[in-house]
Amino acid sequence: MRRLLIAGSIFALSLPLVACDNVTTQNSTASAGKAQWTDGNLRQLREAIDHRARHGLDHLNFDAKDNGPEAQTEVALRYAAALAHGDSDPTKLYDVYTVARPNPDLRAGLAKAMAENKLSDWLESLAPQSDEYRALSKAYLALTRQAEAPAAAIPATSKAIEPGQSDGRMPAIARQLVASDYLDKGQAGGERYREPMVQAVKRMQQDFGIKPDGSIGTQALEILNLSDADRARAIAVAMERTRWLDRTPPATRIDVNLAAARLSYWRDGKLANVRKVVVGEPDTETPQLGSPIYRLVANPTWTVPRSIERKEIAGKGAAYLRRNNMVRKDGWIVQQPGPKNSLGLVKFDMKNEHQIYLHDTPAKQLFAQVQRQRSHGCVRVEDAEGFAAMLAQDAGIVDEWNKARATGKESFVPLPREIPVRMLYQTVLFDDQGEPVVRADPYGWNDRISVALGFKAGSGARLRGAGSDIGP
């Protein structure tokens, strides 16, 4: 499936498949609810599990402990759960995960499906039904049909590719630079390593802590290059993450993809706006939260968290505080409102115990970066003033919002209806043709899922923290 564009680190992959064909009990009198395990139900269960590769679950063992009806029921329920809300539990894989998850009554569903002899249909209905999930499934199956341990798409050689040289690998390298947003599509083409590509490679090298000399050697190729097996692993993880999510999310909501540093605003079930964001850098990652915006804040003040005060401000004198419009209040450092405030001119207050929210920023230059994992954990929104105006318009509070902004003082404007926000982490996006695009895993958060799915952990390049500024 060479059409898949990739940008990320190389991961190891184990490929042994686990057969699951020991379901042989027939005409059992035991039941799931009131339904019995008939020959037909057993056959449908076995066939569904045999085709689990469609969901990237082929590295997991769903064998029954024995041939008894209770064991078959537990296998059916475990496989149903894997399809309905993932085989892994994100609340156990991550310190913080509060995004809403599906919670169907699987025992009741299993009993009904068995009674109606529709077990196969019921199991398939539990998985996500979106076009994106189907595209992931199709791509995964195509990749796993390739030979085991296939060669990398861009093979490394003993000599690096230097600026100005011609090399047959350049078109593939250019495609992957485009896929990862380092290179404009119009700048790709030909086998000569030209200046626009050199600058793109240097930006990528800098993001990942490699000497930014533009030389395409082993380390640069490691960031760019994934084998078919590596891509399959990333797509299996993407399917699992998708299964974690509610099948019917709120029609009006905000989704923030932390891996891609992008915000999507959905209005009444339709995508209304997409914009760049800056999210937490490695070591101060933005957590995966489900948390609503309940009010807009004009001209916000910023109370500096103790952690940032200790790491960024400790030892700096009164002149530093004055220069940054900061004062001490009740033992805390507070930055006063204004365009230089670290929250900018707009804050989107959210309800969560982790003090995570969306906000403006004076550091506009960060939005021009490709890897925008650069904050202390909160989410900085590109053109936050324009985004706030959009939300105010949709909420019918334009007058109140404009009056609040005009005061020049910190002012709060409640939203008539809270807007749900989901902080997600998805390293597979989709191009204009709907094909999966495997991108970087900046936090290295895919590894723990891939291990839970039966793959081996990866050990590739990771994004380097930049420590850009003191902002949240």
Give the residue from 465, 228, 256 showing the smallest Cα distance to 381: 256
Whether residue 233 is found in the same domain as residue 270: no
Residue 291 placed within a domain: yes
Amino acid at 359: H
Spot the catalytic one: 55, 59, 85, 359: 359
Q: Looking at the structure, tell me whether residues 130 and 3 fall in a common domain.
A: yes
The Cα 20–Cα 63 span in angstroms is 5
Q: What's the confidence (pLDDT) of residue 5? A: 43
Residues of the chain with confidence (pLDDT) below 70:
1-35, 147-153, 458-468
User: What local confidence, expressed as pLDDT, does residue 35 receive?
Assistant: 60
Say what the pLDDT of residue 210 is. 81
Residues 239 and 261 in one domain: no
Same domain, 240 and 119: yes
Q: How many CB atoms lie within 10 A of CB 151?
A: 10
pLDDT on residue 105: 98
| Residue 55 annotated to the active site | no
Domain boundary pick from 394, 419, 444: 419
354 and 455 within one domain: no
pLDDT in tens, 104-160: 999 999 999 999 999 999 999 999 999 999 999 999 999 888 755 455 568 778 899
CATH code at 254?
A: 2.40.440.10
* Domain end point (choices 401, 419, 437): 419
358 and 438 co-located in one domain = no
Q: Do 94 and 231 share a domain, yes or no?
A: yes
Please check whether residues 287 and 344 belong to one and the same domain: yes
| Torsion-angle region of 157 (φ positive above 0: left; ψ -120 to 50: alpha; else: beta) | beta
Residues 8 and 50 in one domain: yes
Same domain, 110 and 52: yes
Residue 377 and residue 461 in one domain: no
| 20 carries an active-site annotation | no
Are 294 and 386 contained in the same domain?
yes
Query: What range does the domain containing 295 cover?
Result: 250-301+337-419
Q: Three-class SS string for 250-296?
A: CCCEEEEECCCCEEEEEECCEEEEEEEEEEECCCCCCCECECCEEEE
Phi, psi of 196 (to 5 degrees): -60, -40
Specify the DSSP class assigned to residue 88: S
Total number of domains in the chain: 2
